Copies of this chain bind each other. A is one copy, B any other.
């Protein structure tokens, strides 16, 4: 018996404050605003500490959706998870991906075969600045992942294909507040704290899904890159102090006409992994001779990118970590965005930077959502 369904819509934007595409779909009845549970977006800022396009987008979305959900603008975020990832370098194109979830009656759903896309969400408590990038953030995140899986009716960790987390970062103010309490933060650098927060959050996913055995210590964060989650994608933003966890996977309880799959890029030029991820949901690259399965259609790709901490990719030196003009996250998003854009035929994909403990060192997870053909979904 199918008990819920999910809808996923990708909407291009003309700027971080552009909500016209979303409102148009709402007005056309194609999106029910009361069913929206999460919106993942790529915005065109620098993706760094001072990327205000993320909070601007959230502010614009909140104001636009407030009347539909009967909440004041500033409380919309408590109901809908907004995850804005800054940085659309190279061929990447700013866009939103809107996820809705509905309860469905049993009728008709018995003919659906296989597991289908499901979504679940949870969040941690607020962290103290000195907890960011450390054990507390890892443990609380793991708890939230378990809660989100339960909500998505996903039992088997193997059915989880993407866990998006929004996590906090440190600012001068927050670092000072910790100091005033006599505590040291994991780093004194605002930019550097984004890596710590992303890393600890990803380790939390790995713990929840059983991808890591044994204990993780504070000092393993950003050091032991052999510890990682193959499905975690974490994004740091200045606008919150807790982690928001969104689990995407396939569930026997879902009646959605979508499926999700993933692969793990072992480095930033791992084209085989991207192709594997496409194939895992029945899609093929455009230059592939074989036709893609029936009428399956790409909805979006979700990937993480990072500059290999070793300074090398397959034996050749890269300069991303030594560039004082462009942050390494921007370099990495541009490159991986170029590869995924080329293989999928579109730059409107969600490639996010900073893949610490998200996939192997220098690599990262790549997940694909496909819309199934009508035959398959009825």
Residues of chain A having any CB pair with chain B under 8 Å = 12, 14-17, 44-53, 55-56, 59-60, 63, 73, 88-95, 171-173, 176, 188-192, 222, 268-272, 274-275, 285-287, 309-311, 313-314, 316-327, 330-332, 334-339, 341-343, 345-348
Copies in the complex: 4
**Which of B92, B270, B324 contacts A47 (CB under 8 A)?**
B324
Q: Is the CB of B347 within 8 A of A310?
A: no
Return chain B residues, CB-CB under 8 Å to A16: 52, 56
Q: List 29 A-B contacts (CB under 8 A).
A: A17-B56, A45-B52, A50-B319, A50-B322, A50-B323, A51-B324, A52-B53, A56-B59, A63-B73, A93-B317, A93-B318, A171-B311, A171-B322, A176-B310, A189-B189, A189-B192, A190-B321, A191-B324, A269-B338, A271-B286, A272-B286, A274-B342, A314-B347, A316-B348, A335-B337, A335-B341, A337-B338, A338-B338, A339-B339
Cβ distance A285 to chain B, nearest Cβ, rounded Å = 7
Given known A17-B56, A324-B191, contact A342–B269 (CB-CB < 8 A): yes
Contact between chains at B319 and A188 (CB < 8 Å) = no
From residue A268, how far is it (CB to closest CB) to chain B in Å? 5
- With A50-B323, A191-B324 given, can you name 16 additional A-B contacts, CB distance below 8 Å? A15-B55, A16-B52, A45-B52, A47-B324, A49-B324, A88-B319, A94-B317, A94-B319, A95-B316, A268-B342, A269-B341, A269-B342, A271-B285, A271-B343, A326-B326, A334-B335
Report the bound CA distance from A346 to B334 in whole Å. Answer: 16
In Å, the complex CA distance between A201 and B342 comes to 28
Kindly state the separation between the CA atoms of A275 and B289 in the bound complex, as whole angstroms.
Answer: 12
User: What separation, in Å, do the CA atoms of A297 and B91 have in the docked complex?
Assistant: 29
Instruction: Output the nearest chain B residue to A169 by Cβ-Cβ distance.
Output: B322
- Please state if B331 and A89 are interface contacts (CB–CB under 8 Å): yes
A326 CB to nearest chain B CB (Å): 6
Report the bound CA distance from A331 to B310 in whole Å. 23
A290 to chain B, nearest CB (A): 10
Partner of A172, one of B59, B95, B310: B310
Neighbouring B residues of A271 by C-beta, 8 Å = 285-287, 342-343
Instruction: List the B residue with the shortest CB-CB distance to A47.
Output: B324
CA distance A48 to B326 in the complex (A): 11
Q: Name the residue in A14, A285, A316 with the highest tally of chain B Cβ atoms < 10 Å from its Cβ.
A: A316
Nearest chain B CB to A108 CB, angstrom units: 34
A172 cross-chain contacts in B, Cβ below 8 A: 309-311, 321-322
| Whole-angstrom CA separation of A222 from B154 in the bound complex | 48
Considering only CB atoms, which chain B residue lies closest to A329 in the complex?
B324
User: Which chain B positions have C-beta within 8 A of A59?
Assistant: 17, 56, 59-60
Q: Which residues of chain B come closer than 8 Å to A270, judged between CB atoms?
A: 342
Cα distance A330–B320 in the bound complex, in angstroms: 12
For residue A309, give the distance in angstroms from its CB to the closest CB of chain B. Answer: 8
Complex alpha-carbon distance, A52 and B18, angstroms = 12
Residues of chain B contacted by A343 (CB below 8 angstroms): 271, 342
